[in-house]
């Protein structure tokens, strides 16, 4: 069985079939890109994987776990981390606090120990902090460590959301439009980081992306979704030149 | 000594050499000095102030404790409650009943917290599924139910005729003096504040803030928002119940009317004025409300009776202050305090713009 396997996934909102019989599989250690026009159902696939939505039909398997048996709060524990298209950071908390929330799945201290802040909690906190600092070093966020999110520019927030996802120490990372809202330089940086995440941290990455040069740079396989259906799957050159994909973006030549 | 005081105002450059420094409650010598001094002064207050003012101070402390309870729920977990008077009522009546049965405060106080906590748990299970205005209405209804219950449970609460409260009993010693009650409340308040601060610096507190700021991403990070909300409700109810128990000693006589909607609103106002989402805010709010009430009643005696005797002067002053705080410092007194503090800290180079409010970025509404 593949690392992540999606079979015949469907969901509809009212009369709109947002995701319609989509199947694909992702190998461990690869970078997999999902492309498609706006409203094609890309983010819906992520929200289905995060179990925010209940699918009409289909199967979701992640390394021998049936995701449909789990709730949204259990997904992170399996080692699936994600970012959001429009940023979902904890605005009124510091960068450090945001990243430490990413360590929540690794917390095993009972509530009364936390209330008394016993030595075991202190030790656990120091351990979380060390892990968080590794991520801070990795993404070069040291400068922002103690700042509030509400005062930071968009590009930095984007990076912090990625950092927070990495704090989970995930096996699979879902990135929803990592380059949207970033300038040219930041986009390039994001490309390097995605490659580093795959190579150095050994994390499988799935990204939804509109920027084709970033997709070409980092991804091993590309999946094109058009109107909730799979239009093409393969290497980025194959998908980019596939007639169904071209017509979805540019319209039919008549 | 003077040099030390001056130094605690100066711009401070903290050299952090280990991660443990960030876990400490007092971050530097200035914190240790000023908070130590504050606690010392609070404990020494009965030596300086006479009975009336100690009584007023006791009320401030009791309200601070109740506000602390509400702050855990509303300020840190983002769940509005318009029914916290209910928990005060449960705590007050439980405490009074157990004392009337001849138990000591060692039984009565924990029972007050426990019963209020149970009430909180019962409310939390349905309330954790609600948010915003619906939650406010649900908690409001709960408060009305509790008030009605207190009015009809004649055998326990004395109904609308009211109920006398015995003085606290510790080790067979009865606490009659107002300064004794003051110290008793102060000790418990310091302890509860420490517990709340501990929660806030541990994973639970961070999870609460996560649920408040973005429920959806807290879930994606493995936080169970339902569990966190129920936890916040229970802790909040327990602390407020404890405050209620002390309130019963302050009041000496309980009637259901004390625990009406106005008390709930006053509590909520208090923490909003003080600064939502900060522990400092609770105390600022409690002191403000306390000083205002005492100040108005003193001013009434001093002013000529043609002005002082006018009905509705209290709501007027309250209203003016509320409106001006909301107009000029919507984030509460605490943020004004932060500004004053940084003005002194960075004295010649302080810039007003550093506290300019930033625009909020678009948030995903679709998932809600």
What is the full per-residue pLDDT of chain A (254 aa) written as tens digits? 689 999 999 999 988 899 999 999 999 999 999 999 998 999 999 999 999 999 999 999 999 899 999 999 999 999 999 999 888 999 999 999 999 999 999 999 999 999 999 999 999 999 999 999 999 999 999 999 999 998 898 999 999 999 999 999 999 999 999 998 899 999 999 999 999 999 999 999 999 999 999 999 999 999 999 999 999 999 999 998 999 888 888 887 66
Task: Report which of A111, A91, A110 is spatially closest to residue A101, judged by C-alpha positions.
Answer: A91
* Interface contact flag, B222 A168, Cβ < 8 Å: yes
- Give the C-alpha separation, B253 to B153, whole Å: 16
Q: Sort out which chain A residues have CB atoms less than 8 A from B209's CB and list them.
A: 90, 92-93, 97, 101
Task: Say if residue B348's pLDDT is above 50.
Answer: yes
Whole-angstrom Cα distance, residue B103 to residue B114?
A: 15
- CB of B13 within 8 Å of a chain A CB? The answer is no
Angstrom distance (rounded) from CA B307 to CA B304: 6
Give SS3 for A233: strand
From B20, which residue of chain A is nearest by alpha-carbon distance?
A126
Q: Over A41-65, what HEC string results?
A: CHHHHHHHHCCCCCCCEEEEEECCE
Q: With CA atoms as reference, report the closest residue to B201 among B13, B25, B11.
A: B25
Q: What stretch of H or E contains A230?
A: strand A229-234
The end-to-end CA distance of chain B, in Å, is 56
- How far apart are the C-alpha atoms of B221 and A76, rounded to whole Å? 5
Do the beta carbons of residue B230 and residue B124 sit within 8 Å? yes
Contact check, Cβ <8 Å, B360/A91: yes
Query: By C-alpha distance, which of B286, B263, B240 is closest to B87?
Result: B240
Contact B68, B283 (CB under 8 A): no
**pLDDT on residue B368:** 39
Contact B19 A126 (CB under 8 A): yes
Mean pLDDT of B220-246: 96
Strands A4-13 and A57-62: antiparallel
- A133 contacts on B by Cβ (under 8 Å): 19
Please state at what angle helix B51-70 crosses helix B225-251, rounded to 10 degrees. 160
Dihedral sign of CA atoms A122, A125, A130, A133 in order: negative
Contact B203 A104 (CB under 8 A): yes
- Segment B291-296 long-range contacts (CB within 8 Å, at least 24 positions apart): B291/B60, B292/B317, B292/B318, B292/B321, B294/B53, B294/B56
**Which one of B20, B195, B213 has the shortest CB-CB distance to A115?**
B195
Q: Residue A102: its chain B contacts at CB < 8 A?
A: 221
Q: Kindly list the distances between the CA atom of residue A43 and the CA atoms of A47, A193, B233, B270, B322, in Å, as whole numbers in the listed order.
A: 6, 21, 34, 42, 44
What 3-state DSSP class applies to A92? coil
Residues of A in contact with B193 (CB under 8 A): none
> What SS3 class is residue A1?
coil
pLDDT at B366 (0 to 100)? 42
ipTM: 0.92
Across the interface, which of B23, B206, B363 has its CB nearest the CB of A88?
B363
- In this complex, the residue of B201, B216, B218 whose CB is nearest that of residue A52 is B216
**Beta carbons within 10 angstroms of residue A171's beta carbon:** 19
Task: Count Cβ–Cβ pairs < 8 Å, chain A vs chain B.
Answer: 126
Q: What is the DSSP string of A172-228?
A: EEEEESTTTT--HHHHHHHHHHHHHHHHTS--EEEEE-S-HHHHHHH-SEEEEEETT
Residue B361 has pLDDT above 80, yes or no: no
Residues 263-302 of B with CB under 8 A from A: 277
b/e per residue B147-180 (b: at least 16 CB within 10 A): bebbbeeeeebbeeeebebbebbeeeeebeebbb
B127 vs B326: which has the higher pLDDT: B127
- What radius of gyration, in Å, describes the C-alpha atoms of chain B? 22
Name the DSSP class of A24.
Answer: E
pLDDT band at B367 (very low <50, low <70, confident <90, very high): very low
- The mean pLDDT of B327-356, rounded to a whole number, is 78
Cβ contacts of B351 on chain A, cutoff 8 Å: none
Residue A178 · residue A158 · CB < 8 Å: yes
pLDDT of residue B16: 82
Residue B227: CB atoms within 10 Å: 15
For the stretch A118-128, pLDDT in tens is: 999 999 999 99
Q: Confidence band (pLDDT; 50, 70, 90) for B11?
A: low
Residues B167-203 have pLDDT tens digits of 888 887 888 889 999 999 999 999 999 999 999 999 9
Q: What pLDDT, on a 0 to 100 scale, did the predictor assign at position B1?
A: 62
pLDDT of residue B345: 76
Band of residue B365 on the pLDDT scale cut at 50, 70, 90? very low
The C-alpha atoms of residue A159 and residue A157 are separated, in whole angstroms, by 5
Residues 6+ apart with CB under 8 A from B257: B147, B160
Q: CB-based contact (8 Å) between B351 and chain A? A: no
- B319 pLDDT band, cuts 50/70/90, is confident
Q: Which residues of A touch B23 (CB under 8 A)?
A: 122, 125-126
Q: Which residues of B touch A87 (CB under 8 A)?
A: 361, 363
pLDDT at residue number B299: 84
| Three state DSSP letters for chain B | CHHHHHHHHCCCCCCCCCHHHHHCCCCCHHHHHHHHHHHHHHHHHHHHCCHHHHHHHHHHHHHHHHHHHHHHHHHCCCCCCCCHHHHHHHHHHHHHHHHHCCCCHHHHHHHHHHHHHHHHHHHHHHHCCCCHHHHHHHHHHHHHHHHHHHHHCHHHHCHHHCEECCCCEECCEECCCHHHHHHHHHHHHHHHHHHHHHHHCCHHHHHHHHHHHCHHHHHHCCCCHHHHHHHHHHHHHHHHHHHHHHHHHHHCEECHHHHCHHHHHHHHHHHHHHCCCCHHHHHHHHHHHHHHHHHHHHHHHHCCHHHHCCCCHHHHHHHHHHHHHHHHCCCCHHHHHHHHHHHHHCHHHCCHHHHCCCCCCCCCCCCC
Q: Does B26 touch chain A (CB under 8 A)?
A: no
Interface test with A, best of B220, B224, B277 (most A CBs within 10 A): B220
Contact B213 A92 (CB under 8 A): yes
Distance CA A66, CA B251 (A): 59
């Amino acid at each position: 069985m593949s690392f992540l396997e999606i079979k015949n996934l469907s969901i509809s909102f009212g009369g709109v079939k947002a995701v319609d019989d989509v199947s694909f599989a992702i190998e461990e250690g690869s970078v997999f890109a999902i492309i498609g026009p706006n409203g094609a159902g890309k983010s819906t696939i992520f929200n289905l994987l995060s179990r925010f939505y209940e699918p009409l039909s289909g199967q979701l398997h992640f390394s021998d776990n049936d995701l449909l048996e789990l709730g949204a709060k259990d997904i992170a524990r399996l080692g699936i981390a994600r970012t959001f298209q429009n940023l979902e950071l904890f605005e009124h908390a510091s960068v450090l606090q945001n990243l430490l929330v990413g360590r929540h799945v690794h917390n095993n201290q009972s509530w009364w120990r936390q209330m008394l802040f016993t030595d075991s909690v202190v030790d656990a906190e120091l351990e979380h902090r060390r892990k968080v600092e590794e991520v801070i070093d990795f993404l070069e966020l040291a400068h922002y460590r103690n700042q509030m999110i509400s005062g930071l520019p968009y590009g930095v927030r984007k990076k912090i959301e990625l950092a927070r996802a990495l704090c989970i120490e995930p096996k699979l990372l879902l990135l929803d439009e990592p380059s949207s809202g970033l300038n040219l330089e930041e986009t390039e940086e994001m490309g390097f980081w995605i490659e580093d995440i795959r190579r150095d941290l050994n994390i499988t990455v799935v990204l939804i992306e509109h920027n084709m040069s970033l997709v070409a740079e980092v991804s091993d396989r590309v999946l094109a979704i058009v109107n909730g259906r799979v239009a093409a799957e393969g290497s980025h050159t194959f998908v980019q030149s596939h007639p169904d994909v071209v017509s979805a973006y540019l319209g039919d030549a008549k | 000594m003077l040099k030390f005081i001056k130094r605690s105002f100066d711009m401070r450059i903290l050299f952090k050499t280990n991660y443990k420094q960030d876990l400490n409650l007092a971050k530097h010598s200035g914190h240790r000095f000023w908070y130590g001094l504050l606690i010392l002064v609070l404990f020494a207050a009965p030596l300086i102030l006479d009975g009336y003012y100690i009584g007023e101070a006791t009320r401030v402390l009791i309200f601070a404790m109740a506000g602390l309870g509400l702050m855990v729920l509303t300020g840190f977990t983002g769940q509005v409650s318009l029914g916290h008077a209910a928990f005060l009522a449960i705590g007050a009546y439980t405490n009074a009943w157990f004392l009337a049965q001849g138990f000591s405060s060692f039984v009565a106080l924990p029972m007050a917290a426990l019963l209020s906590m149970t009430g909180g748990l019962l409310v939390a299970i349905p309330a954790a599924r609600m948010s915003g205005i619906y939650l406010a209405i649900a908690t409001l209804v709960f408060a009305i139910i509790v008030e009605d219950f207190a009015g009809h449970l004649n055998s326990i609460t004395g109904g609308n005729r009211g109920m006398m409260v015995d003085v606290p009993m510790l080790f067979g010693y009865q606490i009659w003096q107002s300064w004794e009650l003051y110290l008793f409340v102060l000790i418990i308040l310091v302890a509860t504040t420490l517990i709340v601060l501990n929660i806030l610096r541990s994973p639970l507190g961070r999870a609460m803030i996560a649920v408040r700021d973005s429920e959806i991403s807290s879930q994606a990070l493995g936080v169970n928002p339902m569990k966190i909300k129920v936890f916040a409700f229970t802790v909040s109810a327990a602390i407020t119940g404890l405050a209620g128990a002390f309130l019963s000693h302050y009041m000496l006589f309980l009637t259901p009317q004390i625990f009406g909607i106005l008390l709930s609103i006053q509590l909520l106002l208090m923490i909003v004025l003080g600064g939502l989402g900060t522990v400092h805010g609770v105390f600022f709010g409690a002191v403000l409300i306390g000083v205002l009430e005492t100040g108005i009643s003193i001013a009434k005696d001093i002013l000529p009776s043609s002005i002082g005797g006018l009905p509705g002067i209290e709501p007027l002053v309250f209203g003016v202050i509320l409106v001006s705080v909301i107009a000029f410092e919507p984030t509460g007194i605490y943020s004004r305090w932060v500004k004053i503090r940084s003005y002194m800290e960075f004295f010649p180079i302080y810039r007003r713009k550093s506290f300019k409010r930033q625009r909020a970025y678009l948030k995903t509404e679709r998932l809600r």
